[in-house]
Structure formats: structure tokens, C-alpha cells
Amino acid sequence: MSKQYFIRQFSSSIRNYSSAKLNSSQIQYGPLSKAQQAFLDRIIRVDQAGELGANYIYMGQYFVLSSKYPHLKPVLKHMWDQEIHHHNTFNRLQVEKRVRPSLLTPLWKLGAIGMGMGTALISKEAAMACTVAVETVIGNHYNQQLRILMNQYNVDLINKETGEKVEKDDLESVKLNTSPELAELKNNISTFRDEELEHLDTAIEHDAEKAVPYILLTEGIKLICKGAIWSAERV
Ligand SMILES: [Fe+2]
Ligand SMILES: [Fe+2]
């Protein structure tokens, strides 16, 4: 028998071996429980409201500070652009998943632009202190959501052809454990969380801690943000 024959046999057995593992088109994900679905809706509602708020806070800061402090203009614009992207992402998810927006949306807009402009009118340091407070609360909130999405969203995987339950070892890649939708949501939240924490660092680099009275401002704004999160999750 020729050398080519053995090579052909060898490569065909490799193909057979790899096809024994299931790929994304061969599996389907079991349904989420009511509680899992309700929590996902809540995440999308509160994150959309939060990112809308962030978008309007940076808008307010930009309007007040960009002409007075030209060196801050690109810094604020960069952060604002990222917030616009975060906001647009959750707007899209809200439409795709048919999640109703927070009923208090007009209040979030007004409150956020007021907070952005108000702190910027006090001083540029106060605006940065506002950013520190907001991003601290949002960063923690995103981390809590990620922990729950990592730990409480295991669903059964089903082999489409046989209808049997699939074991994790039968998958072509461990990534297939998570449905594409859930993977996308986790990926967005962790990217946004990292960007929020960059905003926090930027605000500290730009003298947030020199704001007077720093503790009162940041702790007050943190309380407001926590109250807003609590309400947007529910109303
Ligand atoms: Fe954001
Ligand atoms: Fe941010």
C-alpha cells in the first residue's frame, strides 16, 4: 500500500475524531427559568437607564467645561463618546429583548444633566469628583451583575440531533457552555466596567480629590446613584 494511502487514512481518522466533538450548530441551550429571565430584563433596564444617565452627566460637564478649559475638552469628549456607545448598546438590547424602559426615564435625563452641569458649575474639580462617585458605584454594580451571570446562568445543553443532554466534555470548545446571547452580554458588561474604571482613574488624575468638600460631594452623589439604581431596577 502506498504512502499516500496511509496519509489519507490518517487525515480522515483525525477528521472523524474532531467531528465527535459538538460544535455550535449541533447544540441548543435549554430555556432560562422565570427568575433568570426576570433578572436579565432587570439588568438591561437598569443598565440602559444608568448609561443614559452617564451620557447626560458627561454632556452637562462638556457643555459647561469644554470652552472654559480647552485642555479638558478631549478628555471629556473621549469619556462622553464611550458613554454614548454604552448607552446605544443597551438601547439596542432593550429593543431586541423587548424590555420596557424605566418609567422614570424623563427624571433620569433631567437629574443627570443637572448633576453634570451643576457639579461643573461649582468647579472642574467638583465635576471630576462627581465622575469618581458615579463610576465607583457603576463599577461595583457591573461587578455584582457579572458575578451573578457567571454563577447562576447554567442551563442544560441539548444535542439537536438526538435530543439528549450534552456533557461539557463533548463540546468542541468550553466557550460553547455559554449561549452567544449571554456571552455577548457578559462581554459588554465587563468591557464597559473596565471603561468606567478608566474614567474613575482619569477623574482622579484631573484633581477630583481637590474638590471642596470632596467627601460630602462624592458620598452624596454615591447615595443618589444607589437610589437611582434601586428605583430603575424596579420602576
Ligand atoms: Fe458607561
Ligand atoms: Fe463612565
Residue 84 Cα to ligand 2 midpoint, Å, equals 10
Residue 148 DSSP SS3? helix
5 vs 137: which has the higher pLDDT: 137
| Among 50, 58, 97, residue whose Cα is nearest residue 193 | 50
Instruction: Name the range with the highest mean pLDDT among 24-28, 85-89, 156-160.
Output: 85-89
What pTM, to 2 d.p., does this model score?
0.82
For residue range 69-95, list pLDDT tens digits in order.
999 999 999 999 999 999 999 999 999
Annotated domain spans of the chain = 30-234
Residue 196 CA, ligand 2 centroid: distance in Å: 4
Nearest by Cα to 138 from 40, 36, 41, 55: 55
**Quick one: CA dihedral 205, 209, 211, 217, positive or negative?**
positive
| 197 alpha carbon, closest ligand | 2
- Per DSSP, the three-state class of 157 is strand
User: Which residues, in sequence order, are CB contacts of 158 under 8 Å at separation 6+?
Assistant: 27, 28, 29, 30, 164, 165, 166
Residue 14's pLDDT is 54
Ligand 1 midpoint to CA 133 (Å): 13
Q: Which residues are annotated as a binding site for Fe cation?
A: 51, 83, 86, 135, 196, 199
CA of 175 to the centre of ligand 1 (A): 26
Over residues 172-190, the mean pLDDT reads 89
The confidence score (pLDDT) of residue 165 equals 86
- Ligand 1 center to 43 CA (angstroms): 14
